[in-house]
Amino acid sequence: MALNFEDWLLNASDKSIECSLPICIGVYEVNVENGSVEMGVESNLVLDEKSISLTDAVSFNLDIPLVACNNCFCNNLEFNSLLYWLLHTSALRHSLASSGVKFVCWGKTLTDIAKTAKQPNVNWKFYVCKFRGVIFLTECCGSNSSECYAECGKRIALWSAMLKHFALVNPSDGPFPDGYQPQKVDIKEHNGVVCNVFNISLSSYSVLYATYQGCYGPDKRFVNFMVTDSEEPSEAECWISAFLSGSTRTVLAVMEKGIVKKVQQRLTDDVESTTPTETKSFLSIVLKYIAEKMEPCPELASATIEYISTTGEVKFHKWNDMKAEQILPEFFHSRFECDVMH
């Protein structure tokens, strides 16, 4: 049976859930030029009134191209980087399953699901697989995924560079595009593309995920960056992505025909009163639905989870002819001992 969005919307009692604040449990850096992952990136930031200090961590460069995963049906750079982090940190820690972790995914996967509570007209689809008792979620790639990803990556890198430039420099430093309204934002950059790994307890399920974190403010708290081509960007997407990345505010670039025209700042707490509750509630309901569907499935089982906006249904489809090895890259499923974190 599919999960119906309208039924969830009408059932107000389901919107009261328990959700912990994200806890940062690790930091790593991705080298986007050669696709390697460097562990033990120096960090000394503040999250939830606690100082995160990883300066004593040993730097370790895996030096393995993340794109070299031809056996994998779903080749996702961000998701693969998180899997590399799991491999590196697994030796000295306990298993994910025994530690209560139920899901592993990239942070944007959670954002896409959660924002449906306020944006029910946006479709999404993810691959699901069970490996060592843990459910892994990753995005579905198109038929020309490698070409599309390469082109998309170039655009994202360009937009991010433009946004950071406009947000970081003094307006007098120009030049700026015609029509651009400069706004000085007091933030500092990390060196490189830094990913923070979080653990969050949502209802009865613990989720381990990673997000990019490029900047932080003078208060040493994370700053969330977003790019949009809409004058009325999704409040739900702004809020949930900031919440999941442990950010107190979002710096938002509004683009027009590929040019950043305006930069806005939004405080994470300055949102509609219903947005945090409803986005977390819908995310919790969907994860619970996936967990229940995967529970009777054997090890290495795979499936897809999909939201269809025209029908308002979240559908689960189990694959009988595809195994987890086709979703998880070989470097991971062949070596992972599933013994991460306390």
In a domain, 245, yes or no: yes
- The residue assigned the tokens 């670039």 is 253
Please count the structural domains in the chain. Answer: 1
Range of weakest confidence among 68-72, 303-307, 327-331: 68-72
Within the chain, how many helices (H) and strands (E) appear? 7, 18
In a domain, 171, yes or no: yes
In a domain, 338, yes or no: no
Higher pLDDT, 160 or 122: 122
The pLDDT of residue 160 is: 58
pLDDT tens, position by position, 237-293? 888 888 888 887 887 777 666 666 677 777 777 766 678 888 888 898 899 899 999
**Kind and range of the H or E run holding 145:** helix 145-168
* Prediction pTM value: 0.77
Residue 322 has, within 13 A of its CA and on its CB side, a CA count of 16
In a domain, 341, yes or no: no
Is the model's pLDDT at 156 over the cut of 90? no
In a domain, 58, yes or no: yes
Q: Is the bond preceding 175 in cis, omega lying within 30 degrees of 0?
A: yes
The pLDDT of residue 75 is: 54
In a domain, 95, yes or no: yes
Provide the domain limits for residue 107. Answer: 3-333
Strand 222-228 with 247-256, pairing: parallel
Using 50, 70 and 90 to split pLDDT, how confident is the model at 59? Answer: very low
Query: Which pair of tokens denotes residue 45?
Result: 């930031």
In a domain, 75, yes or no: yes
Range of weakest confidence among 53-62, 100-109, 194-203, 305-314: 53-62
In a domain, 207, yes or no: yes
